[in-house]
Amino acid sequence: MEVPDKTITIEAFADTIIPGEKRWPDDRAIAGAATGAGAVAAGALALLELPAGGLAEALDSLAVTLNEHADDYAHETGLSLDASVPSFVALSFDHRTALVRILTDPGHPEKQMWVSLALFCNMAFDSAAHMSTPTAFATGHPGLLTIGYSQPNADGIYRFPEFSYGRQLADHHPQTTATGSPA
């Protein structure tokens, strides 16, 4: 299967933000650094490609720029890269991580761009923002399941009838006013 450079590059970036396990043995985008699903399996690409998010039109140029940064990084660190995949994908997980740290450093001129990309990768994992939350649960969204987010009631609404330890657990500040505010 031919995977566009854009897709495999952005997937490799997403996998650096929230790492996961390989989808198939020779999966190149996912480094396989962690067990369980990561940002890619959680739908990072699907979220990033939604026009509503604002990054969809920029993904091609982000992938090109990211691979250029990977080339520079490889050159500076003396790495030789596998030319059969995009340069960022050719980096090991540790090197991908090191490069993302450089690109998102407060002093980097492109920081905002890479932070935005990371933000959406994270959102795909921890909130499944590209699909309705009931659908996310119905389809076993791995991010919501990993963080342990509770399922809604059958009507799609959250209610927690059990919510309190039910007893006083702290002493009140002595300067509290009659209305319950600080003096």
Name residues contacting other proteins, limited to 135-174 (CB under 8 A).
Answer: 136, 144, 146-150, 152, 156-174
Examine residue 177 and tell whether it contacts other proteins (CB under 8 A): yes
How far apart are alpha carbons 64 and 58 in whole angstroms?
A: 10
Closer CB to other proteins, residue 12 or residue 144?
144
Q: Name the minimum Å distance from CB 84 to other proteins.
A: 26
Any contact of residue 133 with other proteins (CB under 8 A)? yes
- Residues near 158 by beta carbon (within 8 Å), at least 6 away in sequence: 150, 152
* The one among 106, 109, 140, 154 contacting other proteins by CB under 8 A: 106
Task: Kindly report the number of other CB atoms within 10 A of residue 150's CB atom.
Answer: 9
Q: How far apart are CA 31 and CA 20, in angstroms?
A: 8
- DSSP annotation of 82 reads -
Residue 172 CB contacts under 8 Å (≥ 6 apart), including other chains: none
The reply to whether 65 sits near other proteins by the rule CB under 8 A is no
Cα separation of 86 and 89, whole Å?
5
Number of residues that bind other proteins (CB under 8 A): 72
Q: Which is nearer to other proteins, 84 or 175 (CB)?
A: 175
Binding other proteins by CB under 8 A: which of 73, 88, 125, 137?
A: 125
Nearest distance in Å: CB 99, other proteins = 11
Contact with other proteins (CB under 8 A): which of 40, 63, 91, 123?
123
Q: Is 158 exposed, middle or buried (0-12, 13-18, 19+ CB in 10 A)?
A: exposed
Per-residue x/- track, 12-51, other proteins (CB under 8 A):
----xxxx-------------xx---x--------x--xx
